[in-house]
Amino acid sequence: MLFNLRSLLRISKLFALLLFGAVCGALISSHPALGFHSGGVGECEGCHTMHNSKEGTNVGAGGAALLKGSDATSTCLLCHQASNLTGPTTFHVSTPDGEILAGAPPKQLSPGGDFAWLKKTFTWYPDMVSPLNTSPGERHGHNVVSLDFGYQPDGTNLTAPGGVYPSQSLSCISCHDPHGKYRRNLDGTVTTEGRPIKSSGSFDVSPAPDGQTSVGSYRMLAGSGYAPKGVGGSLAFVYPPPVALAPLTANRSEATSQTRVAYGSGMSDWCRNCHTGNIHNGSFGFQHPTSGSASGSSTGTLDAVMTAYYDSYVKTGDLTGTQATAYISLVPFEIGTSSYYVMQSILGNTPTKGPDSADGTPSVMCLSCHRAHASAWDRGARWNTNTAQIERNGKYSEEGALYQPYGQGRTEAEALQGYYQIPETRFDPNQQKLCYKCHSTLPQ
């Protein structure tokens, strides 16, 4: 009898443990773990190593501040780059060198772009009399510096165009606060202290801040007063993080549906933390109005004529579009709102909706034309701005042709990836540049 009772007790304990494990598993399945950066700082040992090891394994030489990588960007890419991926995945922003051989494009398709485009240089002959043309890799975006992953500083611009931020110091933490101190509060303010951060504030499914807790800034972007260690307080940011929301799944092919990021307000001003307002005043041979207080409240505004044209423009020669389906991710716009409710509603209900004054004051901003990280095209542009056409005879590329005035050295695979796998059939077979999505007055 005693033996049976003890056996029964052991069986009961085992059953309780199994039940507890099943419950925990169910909870984990129904509430997936937050990412390493959940709006605030991640675990310290994710980036730093106290004794040059983690879980008994040596992590290498490491860098300053006990970083696991030789520098800040190298530390970030320990997680944000991975080998042998079949395509774009979650939080990855870079493709390894061995996977971007001649003719092969980088794999990641996040809204910011894959940094590996910085390592792709293209050459071509535009015609039989012109010299060989070149699109150097360093011209394809922000040249972050990483000793461990082979990213070099900009060799042409020693400082940020229009500003004084040193190119030698450009890294992931030049824009993103690695410790995630910037938080959005219930009243809409962004501070570096106050209520605890409960979650990321980057996504359309992110919770709202409340009276007891805050959420992280968009993409952990730094704000007023921020300057990475070693850069110097004289370069501290002036403007706060932008108001924006992204869908939870944003790094993906856009072959069948586009990825919409709801840019609310403040993006151009935030870029001016480094580019300081001079980049578009004509000093660099180019001038284009953008949204933001530094340019004046209305310089980048899409007026009624431009809004109507954006909504009606489908492709070269086709103005049959409607506001409900006008949005194209290659030419995003700023909604002109600070309301997260409006942005969530657009992403959840009308992600293809064009500019609408009922939502805010729609405007052109820096990311209307550029990607934040890098792209297949010069200046990190969303489309090839160096040619009159982005398609010729139904192709983005002129692969195999002796002269390539439009394809400009890209293979079809590279060009298609540069347009985020949006099919050529989305546009006219001889599609002109996408400036025309806003500019009805340009000659066509």
> Confidence class of residue 293 from pLDDT cuts 50, 70 and 90?
low
Asked if residue 288 belongs to a domain, the reply is no
Residues 345, 374 contacting (CB under 8 angstroms): no
User: What pLDDT was estimated at residue 31?
Assistant: 33
Asked if residue 391 belongs to a domain, the reply is no
Which of 115-124, 288-297, 389-398 has the weakest average pLDDT? Answer: 288-297
Which of 55-69, 101-115, 293-307, 354-368 has the weakest average pLDDT? Answer: 293-307
User: What pLDDT was estimated at residue 288?
Assistant: 75
Which of 26-35, 123-132, 348-357 has the weakest average pLDDT? Answer: 26-35
Pick the residue with more confidence: 276 or 100? Answer: 100
Asked if residue 257 belongs to a domain, the reply is no
User: What pLDDT was estimated at residue 441?
Assistant: 61
Question: What type of residue sits at position 96?
Answer: P
Tokens representing residue 12 in the block? 């009961």
**Most confident region among 10-14, 31-35, 81-85, 266-270 by mean pLDDT:** 81-85
User: What pLDDT was estimated at residue 64?
Assistant: 81
Residues 162, 179 contacting (CB under 8 angstroms): no
For the residues 400-425, what does the mean pLDDT come to?
A: 98
Domain residues for 64? 45-52+59-76
pLDDT digits (tens, 9 = 90+) for 167-204: 999 999 999 999 999 999 999 999 999 999 999 999 99
Distance from C-alpha of 293 to C-alpha of 254, rounded to nearest angstrom: 33
Q: Does residue 153 carry a pLDDT above 90? A: yes
Ramachandran bin of 260, using left for φ above 0, alpha for ψ from -120 to 50, beta for the remaining angles: beta
Our measurement of the distance from residue 150's CA atom to the centroid of its chain's CA atoms, rounded to an integer in Å, reads 20
Q: What is the pTM of this model?
A: 0.88
User: Who contacts 107 (Cβ-Cβ below 8 Å, separation ≥6)?
Assistant: 85, 87, 88, 92, 95, 99, 114
* Interior/surface letters 61-89, b for 16+ CB within 10 angstroms, e for the rest: ebbeeebbbbbbbbbbbbbbbbeeeeebe
pLDDT digits (tens, 9 = 90+) for 324-343: 999 999 999 999 999 999 99
Tokens representing residue 363 in the block? 């405007």
Angle at 421 between CA 320 and CA 249, to 5 degrees: 95
How many distinct structural domains can be found in the chain?
1
Asked if residue 69 belongs to a domain, the reply is yes
Pairing of the two strands 262-265 and 243-245 = antiparallel
Asked if residue 66 belongs to a domain, the reply is yes
Q: Does residue 277 carry a pLDDT above 70? A: no
pLDDT digits (tens, 9 = 90+) for 10-26: 444 444 444 334 433 33
Q: Does residue 223 carry a pLDDT above 80? A: yes
Q: Does residue 227 carry a pLDDT above 80? A: yes
Q: Does residue 253 carry a pLDDT above 60? A: yes
Our measurement of the distance from residue 217's CA atom to the centroid of its chain's CA atoms, rounded to an integer in Å, reads 14
Asked if residue 144 belongs to a domain, the reply is no
pLDDT digits (tens, 9 = 90+) for 164-173: 999 999 999 9
Asked if residue 323 belongs to a domain, the reply is no
Q: Does residue 306 carry a pLDDT above 50? A: yes
User: What pLDDT was estimated at residue 65?
Assistant: 85
For the residues 158-163, what does the mean pLDDT come to?
A: 90
User: What pLDDT was estimated at residue 285?
Assistant: 55
The pLDDT > 70 percentage for the chain reads 85
> Confidence class of residue 33 from pLDDT cuts 50, 70 and 90?
very low
Asked if residue 356 belongs to a domain, the reply is no
User: What pLDDT was estimated at residue 300?
Assistant: 77
> Confidence class of residue 2 from pLDDT cuts 50, 70 and 90?
very low
